Amino acid sequence: MSINQNIKPITLKTNEKGNLEIGGCDTLELADKYGTPLYVVDEATLRGIAREYKKAFSKLENVNMMFASKALMTSAVAKILSDEGFGFDVVSGGEIYTVKNAGVDMKNTTFNGNNKTVDELNMALDAGVGHISVDNFLELALLNEIAKSKNIVQKILLRITPGIECHTHEYIQTGHLDSKFGFDLTQLDEALELILEEYKNLELTGLHAHIGSQIFETQVYYDEIGVILKEIKRIKDKFGIELREINAGGGLGVTYTDEDCPPSVETIANTIIDSIEKHCTELGLQKPVLYIEPGRSIVATAGVSLYTVGSYKQVPNGRKYIAVDGGMADNPRPSMYGAKYYAQIANKKDEENFEKVTVAGRFCESGDILIKDIELNSPQAGDVLCVYNTGAYGYSMSSNYNCVLKPAMVLVNSSQSDIIVKRQTYAQLIQNDVIPDRI
Ligand SMILES: *Cc1c(COP(=O)(O)O)cnc(C)c1O
C-alpha cells in the first residue's frame, strides 16, 4: 500500500502503556512535554512517501519532483525534502525566502501564482528561481521588463488551463476552463508570438498545468498530459519550436477517512508515464522533461495533531459535543471545505467504551467543528485526542484568530522528538502592533 492510502503515519502504534505512539514517541509524553495543540510530523512517513515518488517515476529518464510548498512550509520540512532530492514549487515571497534560507538550490524551484507582485518577481529573479510559471499577459510583460532591467534571460513555463474537470471540491478544482489560473488554450498563440518576437528576456521552456487537489481519478492525469503534449505538437508545427519541459502539477489525493480511496503513487506515476509514451509516439515528439508538484500527498499522512479534550455539552435529545483546545485556527479545513478527519483518543486503548460525539474547536464560531459524529473511546476532560492526516494545509493555513497562539510543531523519529516550529509567544502576537502617538 502506498503511504497516501493510509490514514495513519507508518510508525503509528499502541505502546505497552496503551497509548498511541508515533515515531517511537508516546503521544501523551509529547503532549506533556510540548503542550497542546501540537502538530507532530513523522519523519519516516515523510521520507517514505518522498522515496515512493522518486521510485515510482524512476522509469523516466528526465523527471523532477517539486514539492508544492504551500501544503506545509517550514525550514526543517524544506531541508528534509531537499535532502530527498525534491525541488520546490513556491507561490510567494515568503515561500521563496523560507526555502532559500533553508539552503535549497534555487535552480530547483518554480514560482507559481496568478498574481505575483512586482516585489515578488524581483525577489524571485534575484534569488535565482529556476522557472517562473507565467500565468497571464500582464505578468509576461512585467517579468520581461524586470528581467531586462537585471540583464537576465529568465526561464519560464506558461501555465495553461487544460479544460479538465475533476470531481473534487469546487474550491480546489483548478484545471477546468472557467478558472482564475493560467492561459486559456485559445490565448496561447498570442502569448507565444509575444515571447518569440518581443520578450527577449524570457526563455520559454515548456507548459505547466495543475488540475486540482485531493484527486482520486487517474484518467484526468492521462488526459492532462495528452492536452499538454498536443499543444506542444501544435506549437511545434506553427512556430517551429519543440518545447522540452512539461509540468503536470500536483493533486494526488490522500485518505482522511475510510470514505477516501486515492490511487497509489505508483498508479499515478504509471498513468503519467504511459500517457507521455503514448502521446509522444503518436505525435512524433521527443520525450519531454517531466516536472510534478505533489503537495498534499507528500505531507498529509506524516502529520497528526494532538489536542487536549476539555468541556463537553450534551444537547438534550441531540448531539454530544466535546471541545478541544484548538480548532479552526490551527486547522481551517473542516470549517472551510467541510473536510473530514479521523481521530482517536490517544490514551485509552483498553476501556472500549465508544460513544458518538462531535469534536468542537475552541474558537468563537459555530462553524468551528473539527469532526462531526465520530465514535471515540469514552472521551473525558484531560484526554489527548489524536487527529490524523493533518500534515497538509493545516499549519500552512493556520491563523491567529481569537489571538490564540499558533501551536508548536515537532518532528519525531526513532524515539526522538525535536521542535521544528516553536509555539508562538504572546509577545510575538503583538510584535507588529503599533499605537500611534496621537491617540
Ligand atoms: C496547489 C498546487 C499544487 C499542489 O497540489 P496538491 O493537491 O497539494 O498536491 C501543485 N501545483 C500547483 C500549481 C498548485 O497550485
DSSP state string for 123-152? HHHHHT-SEEEE-SHHHHHHHHHHHHHTT-
The answer to whether position 66 is within a domain reads: yes
Res 175 pLDDT > 60: yes
Res 380 pLDDT > 90: yes
The answer to whether position 437 is within a domain reads: no
Q: In angstroms, rounded to a whole number, what is the distance separating the alpha carbons of residues 88 and 295?
A: 10
The predicted structure's pLDDT at residue 135? 96
CA 213–ligand 1 middle distance (angstroms): 7
Band (179; pLDDT cuts 50, 70, 90): confident
Band (185; pLDDT cuts 50, 70, 90): very high
CB neighbours of 240 closer than 8 A, spacing ≥ 6?
none
Q: Determine if ligand 1 sits within 6 Å of the CB of residue 96.
A: no
Q: In angstroms, rounded to a whole number, what is the distance separating the alpha carbons of residues 34 and 27?
A: 10
Does residue 280 share a domain with residue 152?
yes
Q: Is 263 helix (H, G, I), strand (E, B) or coil?
A: coil
Of the chain, the percentage scoring pLDDT greater than 70 comes to 97
Q: In angstroms, rounded to a whole number, what is the distance separating the alpha carbons of residues 396 and 187?
A: 33
Q: In angstroms, rounded to a whole number, what is the distance separating the alpha carbons of residues 395 and 424?
A: 12
The answer to whether position 436 is within a domain reads: no
The predicted structure's pLDDT at residue 164? 87
Using DSSP bridges, classify how beta strands 384-388 and 303-314 pair: parallel, antiparallel or unpaired: antiparallel
Which amino acid appears at position 439 of this protein?
I
Q: Which atom of ligand 1 is nearest to the CA of 393?
A: 8
Does residue 278 share a domain with residue 337?
no
Does residue 272 share a domain with residue 190?
yes
Band (183; pLDDT cuts 50, 70, 90): very high
Does residue 49 share a domain with residue 188?
yes
Q: In angstroms, rounded to a whole number, what is the distance separating the alpha carbons of residues 132 and 3?
A: 30
- The overall average pLDDT reported for the chain is 96
Question: Any idea of the CA torsion for 216, 221, 222, 224, to the nearest 10 degrees?
Answer: 140
Does residue 206 share a domain with residue 170?
yes
Does residue 272 share a domain with residue 132?
yes
Residue nearest (by alpha carbon) to ligand 1 atom 11: 249
Domain-ending residue, one of 272, 299, 326: 299
Of 293, 389, 390, best ligand 1 pocket probe by most atoms within 8 Å of the beta carbon: 293
Active-site residue, from 166, 261, 280, 364: 364
Using DSSP bridges, classify how beta strands 25-26 and 20-22 pair: parallel, antiparallel or unpaired: antiparallel
For the domain that residue 244 is a member of, what is the CATH number? 3.20.20.10
Domain-ending residue, one of 265, 281, 299: 299
Does residue 413 share a domain with residue 307?
yes
**If we measure between CA atoms, which residue out of 71, 21, 26 comes closest to residue 46?**
71
348 membership: H or E segment, kind and range = none
Does residue 26 share a domain with residue 140?
no
For the domain that residue 372 is a member of, what is the CATH number? 2.40.37.10
The answer to whether position 438 is within a domain reads: no
Band (342; pLDDT cuts 50, 70, 90): very high
358 membership: H or E segment, kind and range = strand 354-360
Does residue 146 share a domain with residue 189?
yes
CA 294–ligand 1 middle distance (angstroms): 6
Res 170 pLDDT > 90: no
Does residue 399 share a domain with residue 313?
yes
For range 14-23, the mean pLDDT = 96
Does residue 383 share a domain with residue 269?
no
Q: Is 321 helix (H, G, I), strand (E, B) or coil?
A: strand
119 has which bridge partners? none
Residue nearest (by alpha carbon) to ligand 1 atom 10: 250
Does residue 324 share a domain with residue 178?
no
Residue nearest (by alpha carbon) to ligand 1 atom 15: 210
The answer to whether position 375 is within a domain reads: yes
Q: Which atom of ligand 1 is nearest to the CA of 71?
A: 8
Q: Determine if ligand 1 sits within 6 Å of the CB of residue 168.
A: no
The predicted structure's pLDDT at residue 167? 66
Q: Which atom of ligand 1 is nearest to the CA of 133?
A: 13
**Cell numbers found for residue 285:** 515528439
403 classed as catalytic: no
CA 71–ligand 1 middle distance (angstroms): 8
The predicted structure's pLDDT at residue 36? 98
Q: Determine if ligand 1 sits within 6 Å of the CB of residue 210.
A: yes
CA 146–ligand 1 middle distance (angstroms): 26
Whole-number CA gyration radius for the chain: 23
Res 171 pLDDT > 60: no
Name the burial class of residue 114, with classes exposed (0-12), middle (13-18) and buried (19+) by CB atoms within 10 angstroms of its CB: middle
Domain-ending residue, one of 238, 266, 299: 299
Q: Which atom of ligand 1 is nearest to the CA of 297?
A: 9
The predicted structure's pLDDT at residue 165? 75
The answer to whether position 198 is within a domain reads: yes
Q: Determine if ligand 1 sits within 6 Å of the CB of residue 213.
A: yes
The answer to whether position 93 is within a domain reads: yes
Domain carrying residue 414: 3-42+301-429
- Total of domains in the chain: 2
The answer to whether position 434 is within a domain reads: no
pTM (predicted TM-score)? 0.96
The predicted structure's pLDDT at residue 302? 98
41 has which bridge partners? 303, 411
Which string of DSSP letters, residue by residue, matches 238-251? Answer: HHS----EEE----
User: Are 292 and 249 in contact, with CB atoms under 8 Å apart?
Assistant: yes
pLDDT digits (tens, 9 = 90+) for 234-253: 999 999 999 999 999 999 99
